[in-house]
Structure 1
């Protein structure tokens, strides 16, 4: 009897030592990772639409990654707005990881104004500087970053009425992406420069539309904002990248 009790005690001790030696805690005891999704109206809550942030909050824990997801998207925002509210809406939340996605509003040329605008709301040079400043501050604080390009756009009658004037080409199916495509390229280049992960939503939406029987319009609610299928696609691309990024952080 004494021999058996001693054996059981040794087994328990071995199990405890193994758990601590691998620096892993049972999933139930893991501290949730705080993720801030920082963006414009393609990130922000949108009525009953289940946005990608909500999908992350639900499905990452189901995959063994406990998270606290804070949606810091605000409609109409540019990177100028992002810099202005960065301290309050991002840094004050003490995130472990920040997902950054801006570009649609930055690149927009408001030709509907009187007189019509002739330049993007935020120049590409300033857009790049703003993104770099956000990333630099996060990296200085050892906060992980994932960059996302904005989804590509499509004409619908309402948008064409507002924006279907030069320099945009209302007859070109890609005409509303005239400037956005270049801003997306800037994001790719900054991701390489700053050595941060990139989730290329722009490219993914475009590639989706090239498949037989599919259209990029199928992923959009109103020519601009991802619909249910579009938000699902964003989440499906983002989830594995988040898991990879957090895994590398633990090593």
Structure 2
């Protein structure tokens, strides 16, 4: 009788282990690939963290791969190490703010034609690795309404280019440029340059992270 109980316990443990391994094998790996907005988004309360908590584990494994100051060519240079080698099922690309912003602040931005070429190269390599791609337009550099921020026109050009890439490559688009500008239009009566969805006009505050997480979750599930 004792041996029978031991045998049953051993089999039960084995079944649990096999079940866990099967669940682990089926988990979907999602990588959020971007700049400091994504880097901060992986911190507690950030949009990547919120998405990770919302998606059921172990069905999903969520990874933040953001590095402060990155532009599109920085993403291309670290694509192998930070994304492809991890064998993701889905990659969310959120880049473009620094490509525009740094043209003004430090003269190290990215010209639009080069931005598009690097972005397309990212898409090609990720898809060739077997992963799906979601692309995001850059949200804001300043939250004043009605195109009153200094770099709005440039952001609109880069956002339009990403929309075209999404259409050309038949990708899911998260249009943060449209989402944030429309939100600011309705919720910024004093026409403040920051503090509505961002802390500084660029990086997300609590409401911004919640808004972005809520927008992305249906797209990545």
User: Normalized against structure 1, the TM-score is what?
Assistant: 0.71
Deviation at 1:42, TM superposition (A): 1.1
1:150 to 107, 123, 138: 138
Secondary structure of 2:139 counterpart: coil
| Higher Cα radius of gyration | 1
Pairing 1:100–2:106 present:
no
1:191 to 166, 169, 173: 166
Pairing 1:209–2:203 present:
no
Aligned to 1:85: 78
Computed over aligned residues only, the root mean square deviation of the Cα atoms, in angstroms, reads: 2.6
Aligned to 2:61: 68
CA distance in 1 between counterparts of 2:23 and 2:205 reads 35
Pairing 1:227–2:210 present:
no
**How many residue pairs are counted as aligned between the two chains?**
196
CA distance in 2 between counterparts of 1:127 and 1:201 reads 18
CA distance in 2 between counterparts of 1:50 and 1:182 reads 31
Aligned to 1:52: 47
Q: Which whole-Å deviations, capped at 9, do the CAs of 1:127-181 have from their partners, x for residues lacking one?
A: 111110111112222211100111112179xxxxxxxxxxxxxxx7322323122
For the Cα contact (< 8 Å) 1:42–1:75, is it kept in 2? yes
> Quick one: structure 1 residues 155 and 148, their matched pair in 2 at CA, closer, same or farther if it must change by over 3 Å?
closer
Gaps of 5+ in 1: 1-24, 157-171, 244-251
Secondary structure of 2:177 counterpart: helix
Q: Which contiguous aligned blocks of 4+ residues in structure 1 show a shift greater than 2 angstroms?
A: 28-31, 45-49, 108-113, 212-217
Secondary structure of 1:237 counterpart: helix
Secondary structure of 2:38 counterpart: coil
CA distance in 2 between counterparts of 1:56 and 1:194 reads 25
Bigger mean CA offset, 189-198 vs 41-50:
41-50
Aligned to 1:42: 37
Secondary structure of 1:152 counterpart: coil
> Quick one: structure 1 residues 52 and 46, their matched pair in 2 at CA, closer, same or farther if it must change by over 3 Å?
closer
Gaps of 5+ in 2: 1-18
Pairing 1:32–2:27 present:
yes
Secondary structure of 2:159 counterpart: helix
Secondary structure of 2:36 counterpart: coil
CA distance in 2 between counterparts of 1:107 and 1:192 reads 22
